[in-house]
Amino acid sequence: MTNILEVQNLVKNYGDFQAVKGVSFNIEEGEIFSLLGPNGAGKTTTISMLSTLYTPTSGDAVVGGHSVTKDPMAVRGVIGVVPQDLALYEDLTARENLIFWGQMYNLSGKSLNIRVDEVLEQIGLTDKAKNRVKTFSGGMKRRVNIGVGLLHKPRLLFMDEPTVGIDPQSRRAILDTVKDLNKQGMTLLYTTHYMEEAEELSNRVGIIDHGELIAIGTQKELTQQVGQAETLVLHVSENDDSEALAKSLKGIQGVQQAEAVDHEVSIVCAEAEDVLAAVVTKANERGIKIRSIDIREPNLEAVFLHLTGRALRD
Amino acid sequence: MLKTFLIGIKDLRLAFRDRAALILMLAAPFVLTLGLGLVTGRFSSNNNSGLSDIPVIIVNLDNEQLGDALTDVFTSEELANLMEPAIGSDPEAARKSIDEDEAAAVVIIPEGFTRSIIPQQGDFNNPAETVKIEVYANPSRPTGAGIVKAIVDEFLSRVNEGSLSGSVSILQLMLSGRITPQQAEAAGLAMTEQLQTNPTDSALAITINSSTANGEEVKFDILAYLAPGMALMFLMYTVSYGGRSILAEKTQGTLPRLLVSPTSSTQILGGKVFGIFLTGAAQMLILIGASSLFFQLKWGDPIGVVILVLAAVFGATGWGMFITAMARTPAQVASVGSAIMLIFGIMGGSFISLDQMPPAIQTFSKITPNAWALDGFTTLALGGTLTNLSTPITALLSMGMILFLVSVVLFGKKNLVQK
Ligand SMILES: Nc1ncnc2c1ncn2[C@@H]1O[C@H](COP(=O)(O)OP(=O)(O)OP(=O)(O)O)[C@@H](O)[C@H]1O
Ligand SMILES: [Mg+2]
């Protein structure tokens, strides 16, 4: 795998205040990489440097082979940017916005029109294309904001908290779009302060706090790093005795803990796959009907808590 | 280049979609022109010029047909409202009173002026050199002086058109409003015929029906002053609106977004400036079109009007950029912009003719695009053409260039976007 982005010791000072304190990481071609961090962690500042908006105080980053400090114009051709705050012309229609931004990305004529139609389809706004953006709901505006970043089919897309402040339905649509884009071969750098989003989307996660990258790796690597176990959740039917089942499960090798709450039995273990068969057998023996099974990997919230002593969201 | 153009077009479109902006760009100047026109009685039958009683000193040293004719023009009943003529005899004293700001201009008709144009009997072998009329203008009253000059120019062009002495009296009659230009032409032809058949009889007496008098040629329509005055005042609104949009794009995030696209900051700034220019030009041309259509206002030579509009918008755009470069937030641009719009409007002569203002204000008015452009529009309305506009156009273009350069330096210092 080749790296499409290599970040080397990036620093950004705002006057006396150091917002980003020497961050280094790589993103491989084809992956979704999430930067997870609370408000003020330095996510937007980092993205702003990577997208050539801000000049780094020191350090550098190489995007698709081009240095952000030495050849920013070349970098801009490789990347697409979806800024955290909406950046649209509210008095233009969705279509006019996309056309204008497409032109700024050197698209023109028929190919621009075709591409705009594709993007409208992709963000689900074909019907509303002729309405002015100012008449849109927050979620619809967010989708146009994303659409603008997709027009020139960038190899690497930066998305800065694209789901902040919108309804669950729009959020779902956006997360699905992100996954679709990745399936089509786009590499993504996604920032968020929602642990669930990072967990759902990313191949690898970087946890950023106070301008420092405090951990990096796959979700599994990160959670194991702090010794967190997985949780297996059994949903049983109402008539069954979940308490008794929980008690009996404690005897299975590899199960660290088993607890029943209402009709759910949570089993904490190092590796869910290792104990799954034994758990199911035990339930069958007792004649308990399992309605569904969830495997919950240890979450990043816990990792953040472990590393910083603070919760991700205050 | 292309992107600069596209950004400009985008801004033009946005401005024309902003209802509040449209009201100030188009509706306000139109309604104000209409209102002031009503107040000054432009729409009643009794025409009354808002530009009135321009003090002018006539020194007629010629004392023959043409000199007298020109003097009559200035003292005629038709120009009684517009002009406040005084007859002088000493050119030096007259020039001095200009230097003391007592009049807008002095017209000196030198001795022998008539003879130099109409050779008298016996002079044919020895034609006199053309003696030139001198208009000594008061630089602090450009509009008044411009009108005087326009009248003299008009007179001279009539004189040049006719090589016959008979035409002089026609001109005299026409300028003083007793015959129309059409009648003058017919009379001139008739006279030519008569002269050809009877060359000795050159002192013709022409009798014309004086009831057809309307003296269109030199009458000055008050709206030709009010309409550009109002349009120019609200042009200052448009340029500050455009300047504000530069800072607004920064706060609304579209400027950073442009900066991370493969578009250079020069293209972006150029596009924004072009957008201001386009919007201002569109505003002016719409207002000019509307006033021609609804008020039957004659702006004069169309080429001159278009070039003057472009120069005025250029100068005003410079101010828009400058205000923006000085301000920190869009709100600051808006408030400073409105203040400048009013100050420039008043001091630049949009409401009251500069000739009637104290000298200090007349001097101050030189920094406003309003005063220069208004001067040009007045010249055009009085029948001037592009060739008479070199001073205002040069002033407006230089103003724009200087302000633009200063703004670019300020923008650079302020580091508009990069952090
Ligand atoms: N222009 C600026 N001038 C001074 N300080 C700034 C500036 N922009 C950001 N900061 C500070 O830098 C730090 C990092 O800000 P940044 O916007 O990068 O955080 P973030 O991770 O994107 O936060 P959020 O989740 O709220 O978007 C914050 O403490 C912020 O207050
Ligand atoms: Mg942010």
Write the DSSP assignment of B326-392 as a string of letters.
H-SSHHHHHHHHHHHHHHHHHHTTSSS-GGGS-HHHHHHGGG-HHHHHHHHHHHHHTT--GGGGHHH
Residue A66 and residue A12 share a domain: yes
List Cα–Cα distances, B187 to B174, B181, B184, B202, B205, in angstroms: 11, 10, 5, 14, 11
Is some CB atom of chain B closer than 8 A to the CB atom of A76?
Answer: yes
- Nearest CB among B18, B252, B262 relative to A87 is that of B252
Residues of the domain holding A151: 3-218
CA nearest neighbour of B158 among B144, B146, B168, B148:
B168
Q: What is the pLDDT of residue A54?
A: 93
What number does the ligand 1 atom closest to the CA of A42 have? 18
Residue A275 and residue A136 share a domain: no
Residue A310 included in any domain:
no
Residue A309 included in any domain:
no
Collect all residues with Cβ–Cβ distance below 8 Å to A297 and sequence separation of at least 6: A199, A219, A220, A223, A230, A231
Q: Are the C-beta atoms of B177 and B76 separated by less than 8 Å?
A: yes
Band of the pLDDT at B214, cuts 50, 70, 90?
A: very low
Residue A277 and residue A181 share a domain: no
Which residues lie near ion ligand 2 (Cβ < 5 Å)?
A 43-44, 84
Min Cα distance A104 → chain B (Å) is 7
CA distance A197 to A163: 9
Residue A307 included in any domain:
no
List Cα–Cα distances, A239 to A36, A242, A258, B372, in angstroms: 42, 9, 19, 93
Residue A304 included in any domain:
no
Whether residue B104 has pLDDT greater than 60: yes
CA distance B79 to B69: 14
CA distance A250 to B160: 119
List Cα–Cα distances, A94 to A98, A110, A121, A173, B277, in angstroms: 6, 18, 12, 18, 26
Is some CB atom of chain A closer than 8 A to the CB atom of B415?
Answer: no
Number of domain units in chain A:
2
What tens digit of pLDDT does each residue of B41-81 get? 665 544 434 456 788 999 998 888 888 888 888 888 777 77
Band of the pLDDT at B212, cuts 50, 70, 90?
A: very low
Q: Give the CATH number for residue A263.
A: 3.30.70.100
* Token pair of A136 as six digits: 């849109």
Pocket test for ligand 1, best of A13, A17, A194 (most atoms within 8 A of CB): A17
Q: What percent of chain B has pLDDT over 70?
A: 76
- Domain boundary at A218, A249, A271, which? A218
Q: What is the pLDDT of residue B125?
A: 52
Residue A35 included in any domain:
yes
List Cα–Cα distances, B28 to B22, B77, B251, in angstroms: 9, 36, 28
The SS3 assignment for B58 reads strand
Min Cα distance A202 → chain B (Å) is 25
Residue among B260, B264, B279, B416 with most chain A CBs within 10 A, to mutate: B260
CA distance A206 to A191: 9
> Between chains, do A52 and B260 touch, taking CB under 8 Å as contact?
yes
Residue A171 and residue A58 share a domain: yes
Residue A197 and residue A56 share a domain: yes
Interval between CA B109 and ligand 2 midpoint (Å): 78
Instruction: Give Cα B393 distance to the centre of its chain.
Output: 10
Query: What is the DSSP secondary structure assignment for residue B51, as one 8-state letter?
Result: S
CA distance B333 to B324: 6
Closest residue (by CA) to atom 12 of ligand 1? Answer: A19
At residue A199, what are phi and psi to the nearest 5 degrees? -65, -45
Q: What is the pLDDT of residue B45?
A: 43
> Between chains, do A53 and B254 touch, taking CB under 8 Å as contact?
no
Number of helices followed by number of strands (H, E) in chain A: 11, 14
- Nearest CB among A77, A87, A148 relative to B262 is that of A77
Q: What is the pLDDT of residue B202?
A: 29
Q: Are the C-beta atoms of B295 and B227 separated by less than 8 Å?
A: yes
Q: Scanning the structure block, which residue is given the tokens 């399992």?
A: A290
Would you mind telling me the total number of residues written for chain B in this entry? 419
Pocket test for ligand 1, best of A45, A160, A164 (most atoms within 8 A of CB): A45
Residue A143 and residue A16 share a domain: yes
Q: Which strands form A79-82's sheet, in the order they lie side by side? A: A79-82, A156-160, A187-192, A32-36, A204-209, A212-217
Residue A128 and residue A239 share a domain: no
The SS3 assignment for B105 reads strand
Residue A240 and residue A211 share a domain: no
What are the structural domain ranges in chain B? 2-41+220-414, 54-201
Min Cα distance B15 → chain A (Å) is 9
CA nearest neighbour of B353 among B40, B105, B51, B142:
B51
Is some CB atom of chain B closer than 8 A to the CB atom of A89?
Answer: yes
Q: Which CATH architecture has domain B54-201?
A: 3-Layer(aba) Sandwich (3.40)
- Strand locations in A40-113 (E): 58-63, 66-67, 79-82
Band of the pLDDT at A142, cuts 50, 70, 90?
A: very high
- Kindly state the average pLDDT of the residues A123-149: 94
Q: Which of residues 244-263 of B touch A (CB under 8 A)?
A: 252-254, 256-263
| pTM to 2 decimal places | 0.72
Find chain B residues with C-beta within 8 A of A47's C-beta: none
List Cα–Cα distances, B197 to B62, B194, B200, in angstroms: 30, 5, 9
- Ligand with an atom nearest the CA of residue A40: 1
What tens digit of pLDDT does each residue of B317-346 get? 999 999 999 888 888 898 999 899 999 988
Closest residue (by CA) to atom 26 of ligand 1? Answer: A39
Closest residue (by CA) to atom 17 of ligand 1? Answer: A44
* Token pair of B5 as six digits: 């153009």
Residue in chain A lying closest to B255 (CA):
A87
Residue A195 and residue A249 share a domain: no
Number of helices followed by number of strands (H, E) in chain B: 17, 4
Q: Are the C-beta atoms of A161 and A194 separated by less than 8 Å?
A: no
Q: Are the C-beta atoms of A85 and A96 separated by less than 8 Å?
A: no
Is some CB atom of chain A closer than 8 A to the CB atom of B6?
Answer: yes
Residue among A17, A76, A103, A144 with most chain B CBs within 10 A, to mutate: A103
The SS3 assignment for A13 reads strand
DSSP string covering B144-201: HHHHHHHHHHHHHHHHHH--SHHHHHHHHHHHTTSS-HHHHHHHHHHHHHHHHH-TT-
Find chain A residues with C-beta within 8 A of B17's C-beta: 91-92
CA distance B135 to B145: 8
> Phi-psi category of B38—alpha, beta or left, where left has phi over 0 and alpha has psi -120 to 50?
alpha
List B327's β-bridge partners, or say none.
Answer: none
Residue in chain A lying closest to B262 (CA):
A76
Residue A232 and residue A191 share a domain: no
The SS3 assignment for B103 reads coil
Band of the pLDDT at B239, cuts 50, 70, 90?
A: very high
> Between chains, do B262 and A73 touch, taking CB under 8 Å as contact?
yes
Residue A308 included in any domain:
no
Find chain A residues with C-beta within 8 A of B256's C-beta: 48, 53, 83, 87
CA distance B344 to B330: 20
Residue A137 included in any domain:
yes
Residue A133 and residue A172 share a domain: yes
Q: Are the C-beta atoms of B349 and B371 separated by less than 8 Å?
A: yes
Residue A161 and residue A17 share a domain: yes
Residue in chain B lying closest to A96 (CA):
B10
Would you mind telling me the total number of residues written for chain A in this entry? 314
Residue A305 included in any domain:
no
Whether residue A216 has pLDDT greater than 60: yes
Band of the pLDDT at B14, cuts 50, 70, 90?
A: very high
**A18-32, A77-91, B25-39: which range is least confident on average?**
B25-39
CA distance B389 to B372: 10
CA distance A116 to A111: 9
Find chain A residues with C-beta within 8 A of B417's C-beta: 53
- Nearest CB among B10, B254, B417 relative to A87 is that of B254
The SS3 assignment for B415 reads coil
